[in-house]
Amino acid sequence: MFAGALALLSAVALASAAGLKSSATADVGNEDGNWTLQDSEYGYSLAGSQPIDLSISAIVEDGELKMLCPYNLTAVLIPSDDVYYTVEFVNSTDGLPEGTITGGWNTTDDRFGIPLYGETYTKVINEIGPGRFDLVIADGRNELSWFNQSDTARGFTEWFIVLDSAQDVEC
């Protein structure tokens, strides 16, 4: 009975919302920050590592990355060209371009790219295949994107989506 109750509490803890943050690794070390939401064609995209207060709460559940605050939205990967997908949070998958990835989100215990002080961070991944997150700069703004290959020509900084279980946002 005790083991069953402990398992239930563990499942509830894993399903708790957490602050959605960024983490990046480069030759000079690791850094973290908070994502900024910006209007995009289908919903909201994430602008990288801004010096702002934490404003996004999220959870990974049933293969979906769900934003709970400030809006109730779901993350998708929208194809931008043959090489990369833009991470966007959308209200509905209706009307999204062909090739949009609507699921496959999960968490991992992999600590690569997470600052040593980020003990409460859990990395969020997508099962799309080999590749990495990076920022794409276009029209004077940056957006988090997934590159479907480990393209070292893109630079030496690799970005990550992390959930911080020690911080959350209430709406």
**What beta strand segments (E) does the chain contain?**
18-26, 29-39, 44-50, 57-61, 64-69, 73-79, 84-90, 105-108, 121-126, 132-138, 141-147, 158-164
Tens of pLDDT, residue by residue over 108-120, are 999 888 888 889 9
Q: How many CA atoms lie within 13 A of 25 on its CB side?
A: 13
State yes or no: pLDDT of 12 exceeds 50.
no
The two three-digit tokens of residue 33, written as one number: 């920050």
Closest to 55 (Cα-Cα) out of 35, 78, 32: 35
Domain boundaries, the chain: 17-164
Peptide bond into 79 cis (omega under 30): no
- What is residue 1's predicted lDDT score, i.e. its pLDDT? 43
Q: How many CA atoms lie within 13 A of 52 on its CB side?
A: 14
Q: What is the CATH number of domain 17-164?
A: 2.80.10
State yes or no: pLDDT of 43 exceeds 80.
yes
- What is residue 50's predicted lDDT score, i.e. its pLDDT? 63
Residue 106: pLDDT band (50, 70, 90) is very high
State yes or no: pLDDT of 157 exceeds 90.
no
- What is residue 6's predicted lDDT score, i.e. its pLDDT? 35
